[in-house]
Amino acid sequence: MVATASRFDRLQASIEPFLRFFNSPGWSRANEPGIANFAVGNPQEMPLPGFVAAITKAIQPHDKDWFAYKLSEPNSRAVVAKTLRRRTGLDWDERDVFMTNGGFGAIAVTIRALIEPGDEVVFLSPPWFFYELLILAADGVPVRVRLSPPAFDLDLAAIEAAITSRTRIVLLNTPNNPSGRVYPVEAMRALADLLERASSRLGRPIHLLSDEPYNRIVFDGRSFHSPAEVYPNTVVTYSYGKTLLTPGMRLGYIAIPPTMPDRDHIRERIFLTQIATGFAFPNADLQHAIEDLETLSIDIGALERRRDRLVSALREIGYETTLPEGTFYVMAKAPVADDEAFSRTLADNGVLVLPGSVVEVPGWFRISLTASDEMVGRGMPGFAAALEAARESARG
């Protein structure tokens, strides 16, 4: 009799490369003086003064219930609905906005609300490293569609081939972490047509979960378009932690477009799932501050200039890289097949990056643009030295 892996073992296996990296000697050096840390999307500079001011104002109680239990507060829902109307042109209903404890909570709740045990969730690889974990945690079946580097184009034929009678969700992340791709509205329309055909064939809707935490971080004058603009059965998830570069302040939302049929039923499922997922609502102070937070953003122009400087320098040294259209991330090809080994070589030269195996792109590594400009300058000799060491080793 073959032993079946326990639920815990399956969850752990889904993020084994993540755990391996963050338990590695390299990551333990993250806060050492002189380290250029490009590994994750954490801030490397002080927070926005406007963010600090907004939280300081919001923490002052106005009444006895200021810090009482909070659900999705009416003012928070109204602020989000107003923003969504402006950004998409759709007439979003405040009742279709659900405030969550970050984008992580929003995705977890949405998957649990929309699937039953054994249902399939199609997601694109390279993914955010917790998608598979969250699908498994909801007793779903993860179905991976791999996209090819360095373009990471949306492969509609592969997505269609992955859809079966058990498919309930297709999960799309645009702007995409880690590839930096911002899929245009024409691609969204083609995906919508595909899902409409598949839904009609199956006799029930396939929901598109649109994970959009980077939808305000786009470069080169691009416009972001949500698939909710073209596909009614879309559920949008968002996190404020990216635009504000405050990932530890857990504020996000789930939103259902006004075009979705049977919204009343989906509303009920999401609300109940938020409670069952451990009261997955944001803290009171963050909801009190949301009107001010909506007006704030990190400097996207500065991020774009850092992208250009870093990509240009890496290519001049001899690396193959992507040129991201949005997000925080640049992907670079390692000069050896073992991206984890090369990441250790970089760490030995004072540079921390995320091995590509963590985001299912073996042979590559991910660089975060949230590193400071000073780190970019300081890190280039380390990138050069690691590449030369790899070349020397190959020459024997």
Contacts of 35 (CB under 8 A, 6+ apart): 29, 350, 351, 352
pLDDT number for residue 370: 97
Tell me the mean pLDDT per 10 residues along the chain, length 396.
Answer: 76 95 91 93 95 97 96 98 97 98 97 98 97 98 97 97 98 98 96 98 97 98 97 98 97 98 94 97 97 97 98 98 98 97 96 97 98 96 96 83
pTM, two decimal places: 0.96
What tokens does 63 get?
A: 């009444």
Count how many Cα atoms sit within 13 Å of the Cα of residue 246 in the half-sphere of its side chain: 22
Q: What is the CA radius of gyration of the chain?
A: 21
Q: How many residues does the chain have?
A: 396
Please spell the DSSP secondary structure of 225-282, one letter per residue. Answer: --GGGT-TTEEEEEEHHHHTT-TTS--EEEE--TT-TTHHHHHHHHHHHHHHTT----
pLDDT at 187: 96
Closest CA relative to residue 42, chosen from 383, 296, 382, 354: 354
The residue type at 19: L
Q: Rounded distance, CA 324 to CA 330, Å?
A: 6
State whether the Cα torsion 348-354-357-358 is positive or negative.
positive
- Cα distance between residue 328 and residue 218, in whole Å: 9
**Other C-beta atoms within 10 Å of 327: how many?**
28
Q: Give the pLDDT confidence score for residue 3 in this predicted structure.
A: 59
The whole-number pLDDT of residue 58 equals 97
* Distance of alpha carbon 249 from alpha carbon 240, whole angstroms: 8
In whole angstroms, how far apart are CA 95 and each of 111, 235, 238, 258, 276? Answer: 19, 14, 16, 10, 19
pLDDT of residue 393: 85
Residue entry with tokens 């969700």: 169
Signed CA dihedral, 339, 345, 347, 350: sign only: negative
The whole-angstrom separation of Cα 205 and Cα 207 is 6
Instruction: Using alpha carbons only, give the angle 239, 87, 252 rounded to the nearest 5 degrees.
Output: 15
Strands 354-355 and 364-368, by their bridges, are: antiparallel
The HSE-up count of residue 366 (CA atoms within 13 Å, CB side) is 30
Q: Which pairs from 57-61 meet CB under 8 Å and 24+ separation?
A: 57/289, 57/292, 58/285, 58/286, 58/288, 58/289, 58/292, 59/285, 59/288
